[in-house]
Amino acid sequence: MSEENKYWHILEEFEPIKDARMPKGREEVISPSSRRNFLKVLGLGTASAALIASCKRPVEKAIPYFIKPDEITPGKAAYYASSYFNQNEFGNVLVKVRDNRPIKLEPNPKSVITPNGTSGRVQASVLDVYNINRYQHPLKNGESIQWEAADSEIMERLRQLADSGQPILLFTPTIISPSTKKLISEFVAAYNAEWHQYDAIPMDGYREANRKSFGTDAIPEYHFEKADCIVSVGCDFLGTWLSPVEFSGQYAKRRDLHNGDGNLNKHYQIEAGMSLTGSNADLRIRAERNDYGRILAYLRNKLAAKKGVPATELPAPPQAVAEKLDLAINDLLANEGNSLVICGDNNPDYQVIVNSINQMLGNVGRTIQFERTYNHYRGNEKGIEKLLNSNPGAVVVWDVNPVYNHPESEKIKAAIEKAPLSVALSSLPDETTALCEYILPSPGYLECWDDAEYKDGVVSILQPTLHKLFDSRQAQETVLTWLKDDTNWRDTIKSNWAASYFPKQTEQNDPERFWIEMLKRGEFVTSSNPVSVGYNQNEVEKSLQQISNEKPTEDFTVELFENINIGTGHGPLNPWLQEVPDPVTRIAWDNYASISPAVARQMGIKNGDVIQLGTLTIPAFVQPGQADKTISIALGYGRIKGIPEELITGVNAYPLATVENGFRQFAVSGFDITKTGGFEQMALVQGHQSMEGRPIVRESTLDKWKENPAAGNELHEQIKHHHTTLYQKHEYKGHKWGMAIDLNKCIGCSACVLACNTENNIPVVGKKETARAHEMHWIRIDRYYNGDEENPEVVRQPVMCQHCDNAPCENVCPVAATNHSSEGLNQMAYNRCIGTRYCNNNCPYKVRRFNWMDYTGADAIPNNRYDPANMTVDLSRMRHNPDVTVRAKGVIEKCSFCVQRIQEKKLTAKNEGRQLLDGELQPACQQACPADAIVFGDLNDPNSKVSKMMEDPRNYHLLEELHTLPSVGYLTKIRNKS
């Protein structure tokens, strides 16, 4: 850490040091006690322990397989190629199945889109299958009904409506399944229905702009790995925009310094609220949300003037912003054809200007390509307009929730209630299904057959990995029934593939063999040819004129954005997603209104103070880097229908969105802030398990790194040469496991945290316990600010157990529950642990977790569970990984380097009579990381990738001055400020 840098976690660090005694409201945790009371409690505890030990455990009978299915070997996992798609999130995955139970999702390495990792949402989605809140049988007006009766009644009424000419409206999310599209077309023809695709956060403005500019409404591919200069205006492409897992992998390739060529790209981020992408930028330019149009026009006109293209004079953005924009303009001109300009706003006029800039720079056809365009985000406002204006006879909603996530929700609610027939095809209850006469439950995606064409010519298979848990039926099967088609959905997909894709390949000469091969591979890629598009310059002047009509405002602008974990509104039903904190604010279980420190001081607002914004009441959070006149609020919270009370969190901000000129907008001006006097405790985890101001993170710049590969890491060599010990160094004769994390590639997305949760049966503790610093995650991603509060730089650092060779935790445990293995692992014997927490207190990295309560149902003591999210019911427990012990109350736990995976791979190699291959063994965090920032391997192998990274001049260890000798190394973060 260089001397000029001052790192800080939260704004409270700048306040005077307060009394370090127990915080107010926590007095009940400790209470004064006399020696007599202590002996009373001790005697009671001893007697209780003896009584409990004498109780017999209930008898559980095991029934063996007499006829074992071929695909099931008890104790051995099977993997099935499938895909995940939920409205706007996609990933090709391998589903790990144990004893007919899907328990983990891994990236499919054969994928051409997401081969290297997944998002956190994909990792957590396995929990959705075991959600006890799912619809379990068909309903009519809230009462159970048989499938045959429901089908008969609905088909008869649909036919009557079709014959009478009354509109039948079918609403679906964007459908990327070719087979489902074909099926829906048949339904539309059979019943004279209308099909409308609906997205909670649409991108129809992008498609309209591309239609105007390029003559096609397609959304092209963006190649961040080819861009030497990236200029992003309010676009969170590493978090939630378009295809973030794919983009994270591309972006990380250009942040890789291992090859020594220093070919880092330059990333400018212009934004109002601090985003995940903005916090990773080389230069973040803080700007008001209301200025985005003027900023884009300024970029376009300055570039046009320098390239001799006619420019239109418009009001410039503030001078401080314009000066930094000039730096970006110079870099764009220096990298013509190898740059990329993007904007995260759905305003088609903004996107027309972006298209103009990329066209001028020669990026179209190079970093922006139309060969394989994206097929998601097909929703628009036409369906809602039809619903509100046509008095439909029937409304069929298929996994969409406009009553919750559309600004005209009250009108939509009235229209659905007014319709003579309303049918919901859905797995989970929500605000829209609650209004429908018929509810026909569909299973989760891990119980279904389907296909998906996320990009043109890249087609994936979805296959079921367990039998249906409830009396549900796939929505496609329901439509087939309404069409009086007896073909099952799997055979329909198979026939479509034989007709559409089998002729386009040459590897297999039989459709059946082709089908089987596709089930194994999970993906089929057709050949593609370069596509050139025309360009229409005439639309630019019209869009510039629209931007010139935008008036500056002194009021506050509310910016609505998608949370990386919660998404558009599916996340609240998933406790894993609720409990993982936001990567920027580090708050879990809530949304809030992010305001700037200057505004907070001016108005006397503290974190948690409840404020009023129009009709919305929401707690405030003081966010460094926030623009003064912009308030940022995450969408997806405030769900109330079909959600258990303990999972109802936050407020619904969708009503603040607007529809302008037929396009939904998520930035609205004209707000004032009013303090209500209320207060809400937020689960802010950044200060938890802190390492108290020591030189933790290290960073430097590209220019300094080129001069000295150890730039920013000088302390490492100083400490290394001063370490002495009286003890003989222990030699690890077999394997010596270690991990290296490249801070230059880590984007802080939390996919590793959720992968670890899934793999290692980590419990959910709920908002109350999280706020008390009792969260159980084995990995935490520390976020540090550097610089002033107005616009600080951000550095992130994943921290897990460091598996120290001189581990301070091991020599203080009175029962040797924590000890060192022969392969360098700091390991836990859970059945030995008596919960003294000495190890926790003695760990300088604060990475050990204590089970304060029985979060998992593992205790033998009855009525002792603390389960705020229904995670201990039998159905939810089916998600558990049987290779990992489920811990009980009073036990310490922490990262194990996924020792179960180590043992599995070692046994496989032994049975095959070979050595372990470098990279063959991956812990869950490494396998899920979309940026390839984590490397694990054998430190005793000098040729292993992890050994080479440990020898990199950028490598350092946490608190290495303590001489704990960690097995985890970190590579210094390098920013491109050239």
pLDDT digits (tens, 9 = 90+) for 779-804: 999 999 988 989 999 999 999 999 99
The reported pLDDT for the residue numbered 64 is 58
DSSP string, 217-256: -PEEEE-GGG-SEEEEES--TTTTSSSHHHHHHHHHHTT-
For the record, the structure tokens of 325 come out as 């924009």
pLDDT at 126 over 60: yes
**Domain annotation covers residue 800:** yes
Considering the domain architecture, whether residues 919 and 862 belong to the same structural domain is answered as yes
Same domain, 660 and 746: no
Q: How confident is the model at residue 31 (pLDDT cuts 50, 70, 90)?
A: very low
Q: What span, in angstroms and rounded, lies between the C-alpha atoms of 416 and 392?
A: 9
What SS3 string covers 796-844?
EEEECCCCCCCCCCHHHCCCCCEEECCCCCEEECCCCCCCCCHHHHHCC
| 607-663 confidence digits (pLDDT tens) | 999 999 999 999 999 999 999 999 999 999 999 887 888 788 999 999 999 999 999
Q: Tens digit of pLDDT for each residue in 491-504?
A: 999 999 999 999 99
Q: 425-439, 454-468, 681-695 — which is least confidently predicted?
A: 681-695
Boundary of a domain, candidates 659, 684, 709: 684
Amino acid 57: pLDDT: 46
Q: Are residues 834 and 878 in the same domain?
A: yes
How high is the pLDDT of residue 15? 59
Name which residue leads in pLDDT, 576 or 978. Answer: 576
The answer to whether residue 16 scores a pLDDT higher than 70 is no
Give me the pLDDT at residue 645, please: 81
Percent of the residues in the chain that have a pLDDT greater than 70, as a whole number: 91
Where in the sequence is the domain holding 404, given as residue range(s)?
139-202+378-521
Query: Does residue 816 belong to any structural domain of this protein?
Result: yes
171 and 395 Cβ atoms separated by less than 8 Å: yes
Confidence bin at 882 (pLDDT 50/70/90): very high
Whether 365 and 382 map to the same domain: the answer is no
What is the pLDDT, as a whole number, of residue 478?
96
Residue 47 or residue 147, greater confidence: 147
What is the Cα–Cα distance from 804 to 827, expressed in whole angstroms?
11
Q: Is residue 61 in some structural domain? A: no
Query: What confidence score (pLDDT) does residue 859 get?
Result: 78
pLDDT digits (tens, 9 = 90+) for 752-781: 999 999 999 999 999 999 999 999 999 999
552-566 average pLDDT score: 92
Q: Last residue of some domain: 684, 709, 742?
A: 684
pLDDT, averaged across the chain: 89
Whether 402 and 361 share a structural domain = no
Q: How far apart are CA 601 and CA 44, in angstroms?
A: 52
Query: Residue 834 has what pLDDT?
Result: 93
Q: How many CB atoms lie within 10 A of CB 951?
A: 11
How many domains, in total, are found in the chain? 4
With 90 as the cut, is the pLDDT of residue 275 above it?
yes
User: Which backbone phi and psi does 639 adopt, to 5 degrees?
Assistant: -70, 140
Among 224, 405, 279, smallest CA distance to 750 is for 279
Q: What is the structure's pLDDT at 311?
A: 77
Q: Residue 265's domain is classified under what CATH number?
A: 3.40.228.10
Residue 818 confidence (pLDDT) above 80: yes
Say yes or no: 903 and 766 in one domain. Answer: yes
pTM of the shown model = 0.91
152: CATH: 3.40.50.740
In-domain check, residue 88: no
> How much is the average pLDDT of 852-860?
85
**Is residue 126 included in any domain, yes or no?**
no
CA distance 346 to 973: 33
85 part of a folded domain: no
Cα separation, 410 vs 407, whole angstroms? 8
DSSP state, residue 734:
S
Structural domain contains residue 321: yes
CA-based torsion, 630, 631, 637, 641: positive or negative: negative
Q: Are 443 and 469 in contact (CB under 8 A)?
A: yes
Same domain, 365 and 387: no
Is 50 exceeded by the pLDDT of residue 323? Answer: yes
Residues 515 and 493 in one domain: yes
Print burial letters for 289-322: b (CB count within 10 Å at least 16), e (below 16).
bbbbbbbbbbbbbbbbeeeeeebeebebbeeebb
CATH no. for residue 785? 3.30.70.20
Tell whether the model's pLDDT for residue 938 goes beyond 90: yes
Q: Are 446 and 464 in contact (CB under 8 A)?
A: yes
Choose among 639, 596, 553: nearest CA to 788.
596
**Are 748 and 883 found together in one domain?**
yes
| Same domain (yes/no): 586, 673 | yes
Residue 121 has pLDDT above 80, yes or no: yes
- Asked whether residue 143 is domain-assigned, the answer is yes
Q: Does residue 2 or residue 86 have the better pLDDT? A: 86
Residue 74, helix vs strand vs coil: coil
Rounded mean pLDDT of 426-442? 95
For residues 975 and 712, the answer to whether their CB atoms sit within 8 Å is: no
Other C-beta atoms within 10 Å of 400: how many? 27
Q: Is residue 748's pLDDT more than 60?
A: yes
Q: Give yes or no: residues 822 and 965 share one domain.
A: yes
Q: Are residues 196 and 221 in the same domain?
A: no
- The mean pLDDT of 952-969, rounded to a whole number, is 93
Residue 674 has pLDDT above 90, yes or no: yes
Q: For the domain that residue 598 is a member of, what is the CATH number?
A: 2.40.40.20
Of 316, 339, 374, which residue is a domain's last?
Answer: 374
Q: What is the mean pLDDT of residues 174-194?
A: 96
Contact 358, 386 (CB under 8 A): no
